[in-house]
DNA sequence: CGCGATCCTGACACGGTCCTCACGAACACG
DNA sequence: CGTGTTCGTGAGGACCGTGTCAGGATCGCG
């Protein structure tokens, strides 16, 4: 929940933002053109996008549409133009916020917090229990309480990303395509063998009995779902 | 998903916003003080809040906290002050957007659309009841409330597809051809045996008495219909 | 350059799902 | 009462999706 894509045609602005964000524990990827932005986003699907509208190759609105085609990550638009029409177009194309230059870094960071807060809202609780395993989304940490003490469980980046997507939609069934798009980006939608493999690894590391999963469930032909053990049904 | 609470101490601004919003089919409630805002919100829980920070009685941030205590509706803050510190405080207190006066109405409306778009997407839970069975289309999950607790019911992909088509047209009669074309695609329009089989499976899994269906009904020679159980005992 | 961790691909066994076929029941009609 | 049609139900085999393992490619790092 902290991978940010920064897109701006002025390298010094990108650098400045990246430094600020990395200091706040964000994982930052950058791009200076629209095409590069879409390619980078596909390779490392972001949880958050900071997008300058004045790009040399593509119209900013087209970049928004390109991202919205497969990602639902919040998009914060930066722009030098303060015309009302530009803002309306960008927001209606799928952007979530619009900030005109020059801006204060404090304000930018506050708006990013507001966006991530809402994007991750359904899961306001930072720690999720899977039997004996405890997943702390905020701290990025998994512990397993064995018979004699707590043990740290190490997850690879891809395992984290997959687990995060599942845990963010408790009880909801996610199709293979959805999962592949979220974690590996579009273009990997047919790499189902991949998904099976990482699901198996997650089960091996988290489930009490990996052979018969209780939390990371599969519905044949449909997809996967995270079933919180004793959950409060809501509607 | 369209009830808006407008809070501003200047009545003419409230009036102007209310007119604009009502013209766009929003249901508008208003308040001119912080206390009144909290009271009105409690009486008519809003889906969206437009809040001016310069209120006479309460600090705006306190109003935000008061709302956030029980509501997760998006809050858009209006303010005459453009200081960075004010924005950061409001956003970190739980506001979702911050707009400084003077502002364009177009921009305000576009920001409202962006907020409702994101807040409204995870909701809209269309849970359909079929007697003791509950079908959650969004989560793709079916539960059956037995004498002793809730049991998960597993449906195969084709069963889901067929059920989905039926539930999307409540009470409407659908011919065999329509159903076959929708679920199996064109070319299978004569495989009526197929349809009978899967209808039987759905009834076995969902109906209280599969031999005498109450929800998944057949009209001989015509087709099938989903009767949303208004508990009309027919005989 | 070597080493470890991570990521991806291919292959196989198993279980579930899908479809076809066949038969009995209910009903309308002459 | 016989006949035809339509619907419900059961059983069987072909096929697809899933879990799992092994092995190679790639990347980061000392």
Tens of pLDDT, residues A156-206: 999 999 999 999 889 999 999 999 998 998 888 888 999 999 999 999 999
What distance in Å separates the CA atoms of residue A18 and residue A21, rounded to the nearest whole number? 5
DSSP state of A15: H
Helix (H) and strand (E) counts for chain B? 8, 12
pLDDT of residue A58: 87
Q: Determine the residue of chain A that is closest to B105 in CA distance.
A: A84
- Is the domain covering B3-119 a CATH 3.40.50.2300 domain? yes
B160 contact residues in A (CB cutoff 8 A): 222
The answer to whether residue A91 neighbours chain B at the CB level (below 8 Å) is yes
* Distance of alpha carbon B200 from alpha carbon B197, whole angstroms: 5
Lowest-confidence range among A8-22, A95-109, A132-146, A200-214? A132-146
Rg (CA), chain A: 19
Q: Quick one: pLDDT at residue A232? A: 35
Q: Kindly determine whether residue A222 and residue B88, on different chains, have CB atoms separated by under 8 Å.
A: no
Please give the structure tokens belonging to residue B151.
């049991």
> Which residues in chain A are contacts of B143 at CB distance < 8 A?
233
Mutation to test the B interface, candidates A91, A94, A224, most B Cβ within 10 Å: A91
> Lowest-confidence range among A79-83, A121-125, A205-209, B10-14?
A121-125
pLDDT at A145 over 60: yes
Q: Judge contact between A20 and A105, C-beta under 8 A.
A: yes
pLDDT one-digit tens code per residue, B17-64: 999 999 999 999 999 999 999 999 999 999 999 999 989 998 999 999
Residue A12 CA from chain centroid, whole number: 26
Name the residue of chain B whose CA is nearest to A90's CA. Answer: B110
pLDDT higher than 80, residue A121: no
B77: pLDDT confidence band, cut at 50, 70 and 90?
Answer: very high
CA distance to partner chain B, nearest, from residue A150 (Å): 32
Phi and psi of A22, rounded to 5°?
A: -65, -35
Q: CB-CB: which of B72, B91, B113 is closest to A121?
A: B72
B144 strand-pairing partners: B133, B151
Q: Residue A137's pLDDT band (boundaries 50, 70, 90)?
A: confident
Longest dimension (CA), chain B: 73
For residues B126-146, give the mean pLDDT. Answer: 89
8 Å CB contact between A221 and A173: no
Q: What is the pLDDT of residue A122?
A: 53
CATH architecture of B121-226: Orthogonal Bundle (1.10)
User: Residues of B numbered 93-152 whose beta carbons fall under 8 angstroms of chain A's beta carbons: which are they?
Assistant: 95-98, 104, 106-107, 109-111, 113-114, 118-119, 121-122, 125, 127, 136, 138-141, 143, 150
Res. A142: pLDDT tops 60: yes
Q: How many helices (H) and strands (E) does chain A have?
A: 8, 12
Question: Residue A146: pLDDT band by 50, 70, 90 thresholds?
Answer: confident
Q: Tens of pLDDT along A46-84? A: 889 999 998 988 899 999 998 887 788 999 999 998 889
* Dist. CA A158–CA A176, nearest whole Å: 15
CB atoms within 10 A of CB B150: 12
Measured between CA atoms, the residue of chain B closest to residue A119 is B118
- Lowest mean per-residue pLDDT among A29-43, A106-120, B122-136, B158-172: B122-136
Give percent above pLDDT 70 in chain A. Answer: 94
Nearest to A219 among B118, B121, B154 (CB): B154
- CA A216/CA B125 separation, integer angstroms: 23
Query: What does pLDDT average to over chain A?
Result: 88
Q: Where in chain B is the domain with CATH 3.40.50.2300?
A: 3-119
- Alpha-carbon distance A155 to nearest alpha carbon in chain B (angstroms): 27
Task: Give the nucleotide nearest to A220 (CA→C1').
Answer: D17
Question: Which residues from chain B sit within 8 angstroms of residue A233, using beta carbons?
Answer: 143, 150
Predicted confidence at residue A51, as pLDDT, reads 96
Residue B114 has pLDDT above 90, yes or no: yes
- The DSSP output letter for A122 is G
Dist CA B30 CA B11 (whole Å): 9
Question: According to the model, what pLDDT value does residue B108 have?
Answer: 96
Unique residue bearing structure tokens 């506050």: A110
Option in B84, B97, B140 nearest A97 (CB):
B97
Question: In angstroms, what separates the C-alpha of A152 from chain B's closest C-alpha?
Answer: 32
User: Taking residues B177-183, what's their average pLDDT?
Assistant: 93
Task: Please report the pLDDT score of residue B232 as a whole number.
Answer: 46
Instruction: Confirm if A72 and A165 have CB atoms less than 8 A apart.
Output: no
Please name the residues between 60 and 89 in chain B that touch chain A, using a CB distance below 8 Å.
72, 74, 84-85, 87-88
Closest in A85, A113, A172 to B91, CB measured? A113
Determine contact, residues A219/B152, Cβ cutoff 8 Å. Answer: no
**Is the bond leading into A102 cis (omega within 30 degrees of zero)?**
yes
Q: What average pLDDT does range B209-230 have in this prediction? A: 89
Q: Give strand D nucleotides closer than 7 A to any protein Cβ.
A: 6-11, 17-22
CB contact under 8 A, B104 and A118: no
Per-residue pLDDT for B125 more than 70?
no
pLDDT reported for residue A1: 63
C1' of D4 to CA of A10 (Å): 81
Residues of each domain in chain B carrying CATH 1.10.10.10: 121-226
Q: Which of B85, B113, B160 sits opposite A91 (nearest CB)?
A: B113
Q: Are B156 and A106 inside 8 Å of each other by CB? A: no
Structure confidence at residue B233 (pLDDT): 42
* Integer-rounded Cα radius of gyration of chain B: 25
Best of A49, A68, A74, A107 to disrupt the B interface (most B CBs within 10 Å) is A107
Size of interface A-B (CB pairs under 8 A): 84
Q: For B171 and C15, how far is CA from C1' in angstroms?
A: 37
Which of the four pLDDT bands, split at 50, 70 and 90, describes residue A125? low
Nucleotide nearest to B210 (CA to C1'): D8
Complete edge-to-edge strand list for the sheet that includes strand A216-219: A173-175, A223-226, A216-219
- pLDDT of the residue at A3: 86
pLDDT at B91 over 60: yes
Residues 6+ apart with CB under 8 A from B23: none
Measured in degrees and rounded to the nearest 5, phi and psi for residue A230 equal: -105, 95
């Amino acid at each position: 929940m902290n991978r940010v894509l920064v897109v701006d045609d002025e390298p010094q602005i990108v650098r400045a933002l990246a430094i600020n964000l990395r200091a706040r524990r964000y994982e930052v990827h950058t791009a200076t053109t629209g095409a590069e932005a879409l390619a980078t986003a596909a390779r490392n699907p972001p949880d958050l996008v900071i997008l300058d509208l004045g790009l040399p190759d593509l119209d900013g609105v087209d970049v928004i549409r390109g991202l919205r085609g497969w990602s639902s990550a919040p998009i914060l638009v930066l722009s030098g133009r303060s015309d009302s029409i530009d803002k309306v177009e960008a927001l209606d194309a799928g952007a979530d916020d619009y900030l005109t230059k020059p801006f204060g870094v404090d304000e930018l960071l506050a708006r990013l917090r507001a966006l991530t807060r809402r994007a991750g809202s359904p899961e306001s609780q930072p720690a999720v229990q899977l039997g004996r395993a405890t997943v702390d989304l905020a701290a990025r940490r998994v512990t397993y309480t064995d018979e004699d003490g707590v043990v740290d469980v190490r997850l690879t980046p891809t395992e984290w990303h997959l687990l995060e997507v599942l845990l963010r939609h408790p009880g909801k069934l996610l199709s293979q395509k959805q999962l592949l798009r979220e974690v590996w980006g579009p273009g990997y939608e047919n790499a189902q063998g991949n998904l099976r493999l990482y699901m198996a690894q997650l089960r091996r590391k988290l489930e009490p009995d990996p052979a018969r999963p209780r939390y990371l469930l599969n519905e044949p032909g449909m997809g996967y779902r995270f079933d919180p053990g004793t959950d409060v049904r809501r509607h």
